[in-house]
Structure 1
Amino acid sequence: MTLRRMPVPRELTAVSADGARIHVEVYGPEGAPAVVLAHGWTCSIAFWAEQIRALATDHRVIAYDQRGHGRSPLPGPTGQGYSTTSLADDLEAVLAATLGPGERAVLAGHSMGGMTIMAAAGRAGLRQHAAAVLLCSTGPSRLTAEATVLPLRPGGLRTLLTGAVLGSKAPLGPVTALSKKILKYATMGPGSAPDRVDTCARIVHACPRPARYGWSQVLAGLDLRAGLADLRLPVAVVVGTADRLTPAAHSRAMAQALPHCTGLVELAGVGHMTPVEAPEAVTAQIRELTLTYLGAKEEAEA
Structure 2
Amino acid sequence: MLLVPPTLIVLWLTGLFSIVLLGTGGWLVWEWYDNWAANLPANPRYLIWGAALLAVSLLGGPVVSLFLGRRPRPGEAPMQALTGGTVQQVVRPDGTRLHVESFGPEDAPVLLLTHGWGLSSAEWCYARQHLGERYRLLVWDLRGLGQSTAPHDHRYDLERMAGDLNAVLQLANGQQTILCGHSIGGMTTLTFCQQYPDALGSQVAGLVLTQTTPTNPVQTALGARLNRALQEPVLRPLCHLTVWLSPLVRIMNVLSALNGIMVLANHLLQFKGQETRQQLAFTTALLLRANPAVVARGMLGMLKYEARDVLPAIDVPTLVIAASSDRATLPEAAAYMTQHIAGAEQVTLSPAGHMGLVEHHEVWAQAVLSFATRCFKAGRPEVQPQTKV
With the length of structure 2 as denominator, give the TM-score of the two structures. Answer: 0.68
Any conservation in 2 of the 1:44–1:70 contact (CA below 8 Å)? Answer: yes
Q: Please give the alpha-carbon distance, in whole angstroms, between the structure 2 residues aligned to 1:165 and 1:279.
A: 36
Q: Distance in 2 between matches of 1:178 and 1:234?
A: 41
Q: How far apart are 1:273 and its partner, in Å?
A: 1.1
The residue matched to 1:14 in structure 2 has which SS?
A: strand
- Pick closer, same or farther for the CA change 1:16–1:155 going to 2, 3 Å: closer
Q: Within 2, Cα distance between the matches of 1:54 and 1:191?
A: 19
1:278 and 2:350 matched: no
The one-letter amino acid of 1:109's match is G
2:334 matched residue in structure 1: 251
Within 5 Å, give how 1:59-208 maps onto structure 2.
59-76=135-152, 78-79=153-154, 81-96=155-170, 98-101=171-174, 103-122=175-194, 123=196, 124-125=198-199, 127-148=201-222, 154=226, 156-157=228-229, 163=235, 167=239, 169=242, 170-171=249-250, 173-174=253-254, 175-176=257-258, 177-208=260-291
Q: Is the 8 A contact 2:208 2:318 kept in 1?
A: yes
1: CA distance, partners of 2:135 / 2:228: 46
Residues 2, 58 of structure 1: CA spacing in aligned structure 2 closer, same or farther, 3 A cutoff?
Answer: farther
Partner residue in 1 for 2:59: none
2:192 and 2:201 mapped to 1: Cα distance? 9
Larger helix proportion, structure 1 or 2? 2
Q: Matched residues in 2 for 1:214 and 1:260: separation?
A: 35
RMSD: 2.5
Higher mean displacement: 43-52 or 180-189? 180-189
Please, which of 283, 287, 299 is the counterpart of residue 369 of structure 2?
Answer: 287
AA of the residue aligned to 2:180: A
Matched, 1:225 2:308: yes
1:87 & 1:126 partners in 2: Cα distance?
17
Structure 1: which 5+ residue stretches go unaligned? 297-302
What is the aligned residue count? 289
Which stretch of the first structure deviates more once superposed, 135-144 or 281-290?
A: 281-290
Question: Percent of aligned positions with the same letter in both sequences?
Answer: 24
Question: Following the alignment from structure 2 to structure 1, what is the Cα–Cα distance between the partners of residues 225 and 217?
Answer: 15
Deviations 1:42-81 (A, max 9, x none): 11110111111221122111100011110110122x43x2
Among 109, 113, 118, the residue aligned to 1:33: 109
Tell me, in whole angstroms, the C-alpha distance in 1 between the residues paired with 2:371 and 2:299. Answer: 31
Unaligned runs of at least 5 residues, structure 2: 1-73, 243-248, 379-389
Q: Is the 8 A contact 1:118 1:231 kept in 2?
A: no
Whether the aligned pair in 2 keeps the contact of 1:87 and 1:116 (CA below 8 Å) is yes
The 5-angstrom pairing of residues 17-56 of structure 1 reads 17-56=93-132
TM-score, structure 1 normalization: 0.87
Letter matched to residue 82 of structure 1: Y
C-alpha deviation, 1:158, in angstroms: 5.7
1:221 match: secondary structure: coil
Q: Distance in 1 between matches of 2:189 and 2:99?
A: 18
Q: Offset at 1:38?
A: 0.5
Is the Cα contact below 8 Å between 1:37 and 1:108 reproduced in 2? yes
| Cα distance between partner residues in 1 of 2:234 and 2:373 | 40
